[in-house]
Structure 1
Amino acid sequence: MRSEVVRVLEFVAQIDGIDDADALAEDLKVRLEPFGVSCLSANLIHVPGQPINPRVLVGERWREWGRHYVRNAYWEDDPAVKQLLGSARPFAWSEALAEYRTRGAEAVMGACFEHTGCREGFVVPVRDTDGAVLTGAFSGPAMDLCPEVRGALYLAGTYFVLRGREIVDGFNPPLPSPLSPRQAECLRWVRAGKTDAEIGVLLGISARTVHNHLEKAKGLLNTPKRAVAASEAWERGWLA
């Protein structure tokens, strides 16, 4: 077994002793650099009964890319999201694109390359005890994804995500939300790509009322666009 793989297994054995989210990410990143991993994150993708709302828990947040992703509702065409919801097995970005190749999927991956500089990634799906769908995501300009490395990434990614969520839930509770329940509901559906009229139908209110709720939410969050307001509120834990 390669010494670099052994170092990853050593990390897994020690992970329960790490209590800081930044230290968790940095320690794992150093051990994965020999495989071409330059960025990594633990992500909450979906909670049962709620719209799909990807959120970074630990690691690289790519704030500009995240906002661009939300503004363009890329989750609708993202081949990685489709692969994630269709299979419990880990996969490479290139494999997801090959499986779900469309013009929209190619546009999503092209935009990802442009914004992050990463041309390949490896995604580890994780289901938590509450039914939540999470992922460990590893990426870089080029990656070694031989079978031995994939196995190490699979194991490390699973432990990384579960320990990351424990740390975040235990040590970083969300600040009190300034949003009303109705404003939060409207923002949740904005993240799902719904229009004012569609949100109005879902909530049993007029499109004008939806618009007013969103305008007030934008003012409370000091953001010029509703998609940005929805992203900010989600990142702060106010839409979960």
Structure 2
Amino acid sequence: MRTAAGQDFLEFCAVEGDVGKVIERFIEAIGVFGFTASAGGAWAGAGGSRSYRFYFNNWPKDWFDSYMANRFMEVDPMILEARRRMTPFLWTEMVDARSFTVEGAAVTAGAKAYGWAEVMGIPIHGPSSYQGLVSVASLKPVTMNAAERAIIRSMALAVHDKAYEAVGFGLTNRSPILLTPREADCMRWVAAGKTDAEIAIILGIAPATVHYHIENVKKKAGTRSRSEAVALLVLAGSV
């Protein structure tokens, strides 16, 4: 039954163009696996300077409000663990995880006090240090076999990709970075690892002009480095 529900979702996701409907079906499908809450998003940066983009979130409002008010996202072990893992993992498997800092322990204690019994994290890694995570949670213990874990991973990647591709979809803690066509051209090549001189040859403009456009983008993004600016633009789906 679980595998069938996962396959049904993947088939629906492949043909449905409405992101909202895809997310609704995802939430419904993970319920078959025993999970009653979920969230998906991505981020760039670290700590208080982290920028994020929430694609969806149906955590209980009281828990989510507490999570954000206590700034748990900055030290959440699930998020930190997702940065060093490639495959899905369970909260109950993280007893000895390196990401359980003193601050992170406060997040874990708060989650246990609320009543969460299991959380599954599905890490997502993309270009230019893009980091994403889809998490599903339950107030009751959940057991899964290897095949069921694999199907949830496929479901999470599918719903994430659908939301990411809908540029402008989701909630962020940053204003949109509006680029001119030439700035966008330059930043796409920066994201590809090209130097100012190489970009100048590709675009047929002077290296100084390339540098000027990139510096303008850094100012708009509020970053000190071009790599951080690229990360934010990738997060926004702009490059």
- State if a TM-score over 0.5 links the two structures: yes
What do residues 21-65 of structure 1 show as CA deviations (whole Å, max 9, x unaligned)? 3321221222221211101122113269x9333442123255554
Q: In structure 1, what is the Cα distance between the partners aligned to 2:92 and 2:51? A: 23
Q: In structure 2, what is the Cα distance between the partners aligned to 1:177 and 1:26? A: 26
Q: Which moved more, 1:117-126 or 1:50-59?
A: 50-59
Q: In structure 1, what is the Cα distance between the partners aligned to 2:106 and 2:170? A: 35
What do residues 94-133 of structure 1 show as CA deviations (whole Å, max 9, x unaligned)? 2234314455333212212445x43211111112345421
Q: Alignment partner of 1:86: what SS? A: coil
- 1:13 corresponds in structure 2 to 11
**Pairing 1:166–2:165 present:** yes
Q: In structure 2, what is the Cα distance between the partners aligned to 1:54 and 1:171? A: 12
- 1:154 corresponds in structure 2 to 153
Mark the runs of 5 or more structure 2 residues left unpaired by the alignment: 177-235
| Pair 75,171 (structure 1): closer, same or farther in 2 beyond 3 Å | closer
| Pair 145,151 (structure 1): closer, same or farther in 2 beyond 3 Å | same
- 1:140 corresponds in structure 2 to 138
- Which of 67, 70, 73 aligns to 1:72? It is 70
Q: What does 1:173-192 correspond to in 2, within 5 Å?
A: none
Mark the runs of 5 or more structure 1 residues left unpaired by the alignment: 179-236
Percent sequence identity over aligned pairs: 16
Instruction: For residue 161 of structure 1, report the CA deviation from its aligned partner.
Output: 0.8
- 2:56 corresponds in structure 1 to 58
TM-score after normalising by structure 1: 0.60
TM-score after normalising by structure 2: 0.60
What do residues 164-218 of structure 1 show as CA deviations (whole Å, max 9, x unaligned)? 2223x255698x959xxxxxxxxxxxxxxxxxxxxxxxxxxxxxxxxxxxxxxxx
Contact 2:12–2:22 (8 Å) recurs in 1: no
Q: How many positions carry a matched residue from both structures?
A: 173
Contact 1:47–1:131 (8 Å) recurs in 2: no
- Which of 116, 121, 124 aligns to 2:122? It is 124
**Pairing 1:46–2:44 present:** yes
| Pair 56,6 (structure 1): closer, same or farther in 2 beyond 3 Å | same
Contact 2:50–2:74 (8 Å) recurs in 1: no
Q: What does 1:74-113 correspond to in 2, within 5 Å?
A: 74-100=72-98, 101-113=100-112
Root-mean-square deviation over aligned CA pairs: 3.2
Contact 1:25–1:40 (8 Å) recurs in 2: no
Contact 2:55–2:169 (8 Å) recurs in 1: no
- 1:23 corresponds in structure 2 to 21
| Pair 172,126 (structure 1): closer, same or farther in 2 beyond 3 Å | closer
Instruction: For residue 137 of structure 1, report the CA deviation from its aligned partner.
Output: 1.0
Q: In structure 2, what is the Cα distance between the partners aligned to 1:173 and 1:106? A: 27
| Pair 24,36 (structure 1): closer, same or farther in 2 beyond 3 Å | same
Answer with 1 or 2: which has the greater Rg. 2
Q: In structure 1, what is the Cα distance between the partners aligned to 2:116 and 2:15? A: 30
Q: What does 1:210-225 correspond to in 2, within 5 Å?
A: none
